[in-house]
Structure 1
Amino acid sequence: MQWIERLNEALLYIEDNLEGTISYEKAGRLANCSTYHFQRMFSYVAGFPLGEYIRRRRLTKAALALQQGQKVLDVALLYGYDSPTSFTRAFQALHGLAPSQAKKEGTPLKAFPKISFSLTIKGEQEMEYRIERKEAFRVVGATLKLEKDMEQNMREVPKFWAKKAQDGTIARLCSYLKPGQGLLGLCTNSDEKEYWVYTIGVAMEEGTPEGLEIQMVDAALWAVFPGRGPMPQTIQEVERRIITDWLPSSGYEFGTGVDMEVYLDNDPNNQSFEVWMPIKKS
């Protein structure tokens, strides 16, 4: 229950700063997790990305300000838009009309209310998992630098997989796999760096094939969740249920470390996989 309360503290911080700068790092600290895990947790619990929620709340408040007689330019700047053009585009996308029209009495507008979370544990479907402590290991693979924006990364990472499949990198990585190993998708998401790194790779004790990079994964405690089914919807559903069903009553919370996806075969229509989430005792 504690993590829900902390998540709501972070949401209150966001609500109080809609007219200013919102720091995802500070929101994550309030929720007692990394920026990466805060955005991920929010999107799975709320059902939409954090950035989208902030946009909708700002544009809801912007509509109220316009109806109270404030100028379009002033409202645009107040809610974080650099120009009237970008503000008008975003406003029309949500409300279906231009900001100038919102000033007229009787104009229909859309309101997106602020949200808060409460905990309901249904227990309708069991989840198989194991807790595993793994020593540090070495990975070689192809890497992609990511902005600290989960919404953007949900678009960039699939493109990266497609690109590496097309240029033969994934097939080459699979050729290095030993029995029992799987192809890895790693997200290194430390708040100490200015960017995150996503790696498609394989565990390899020594040697670095040409064109690939080395990444060391620190020792950590993980909760490991197996799954099988069509991709990507099956793994996304497992990740959602980890946060909404398993985590609240587990006695654990997000730990520091690398988030891992382990792909155990090459059938995208019935993929066998494991989700490895770094954890620590609550």
Structure 2
Amino acid sequence: MDTRIIERPAFRLIGHAARVPLIHQGINPHIQQHITALPQEEHLRLKALGDVEPEGLLQVCDDLDPDGTEGSELTYLHGVAVSRDTPVADDLDAIEVPTGTWAVFRTAGPYPQSLQQVWAATATEWFPANPWRSRPGPAIVTVLERTDDFSTATCELWLPVEPA
């Protein structure tokens, strides 16, 4: 697995949040509906606000069931990462992210299948073979490149970790 470990100072995730059910395979229609309900101008506004890594429009999952039970609810945020001192408009939701260590997994291929396969492999292959464990915090996906129809993409999956 193409993985790097990085330290990040505290930052904030801002955007538009919704409670949705966890779906392990395929496109989550609840998330898709949430994103497509946002006007195009709002995507551009969010992109302009992002000022720290991970860059670009982000797919954030927070309040995940620790067991990852399919159908359990999570908070999905469509947004960007900003520094802790960046002002946040009242119409945006925010998730405070403390200083910490992240395992960043890079994936490329059919979307969302390759991303979902890497996410599953972190639990079955990567964590058991490495001296890290999950810590509380959001899981973040950033899309680095994609085809126009979004059938393939290069993504990074950011998972909060701590030494095992």
- TM superposition score category, shorter chain reference: 0.7 to 0.9
User: Bigger relative contact order, structure 1 or 2, given CA contacts below 8 A and separation 6+?
Assistant: 2
CA distance in 1, matches of 2:50, 2:110: 22
Query: TM-score normalized by structure 1?
Result: 0.46
Identity of aligned residues (%): 26
CA distance in 2, matches of 1:175, 1:145: 25
Query: Contact 1:227/1:235 (CA < 8 Å) preserved in 2?
Result: yes
Decide which of 158, 169, 173 is 2:46's aligned counterpart: 173
Larger relative helix fraction: 1
Give the alignment of 1:1-282 within 5 angstroms: 127-146=1-20, 152-154=21-23, 158-168=29-39, 169-177=42-50, 181-189=55-63, 196-205=74-83, 206-209=86-89, 211-267=91-147, 268-282=150-164
CA distance in 2, matches of 1:165, 1:209: 21
Query: TM-score normalized by structure 2?
Result: 0.74
What SS is found at the alignment partner of 1:257? Answer: coil
Query: Contact 2:22/2:74 (CA < 8 Å) preserved in 1?
Result: no
Give the number of equivalent residue pairs.
148
Query: Contact 1:142/1:213 (CA < 8 Å) preserved in 2?
Result: yes
What SS is found at the alignment partner of 1:245? Answer: helix
| Larger Rg, first or second structure (1 or 2) | 1
What SS is found at the alignment partner of 1:204? Answer: strand
Query: Contact 2:52/2:81 (CA < 8 Å) preserved in 1?
Result: no
Q: What are the ranges of 5 or more consecutive residues in structure 2 without an aligned counterpart?
A: 66-72
Query: Contact 1:164/1:170 (CA < 8 Å) preserved in 2?
Result: no
Deviation at 1:134, TM superposition (A): 0.9
CA distance in 2, matches of 1:172, 1:209: 11
CA distance in 2, matches of 1:128, 1:253: 17
Query: Contact 1:183/1:264 (CA < 8 Å) preserved in 2?
Result: no
CA distance in 2, matches of 1:133, 1:158: 33
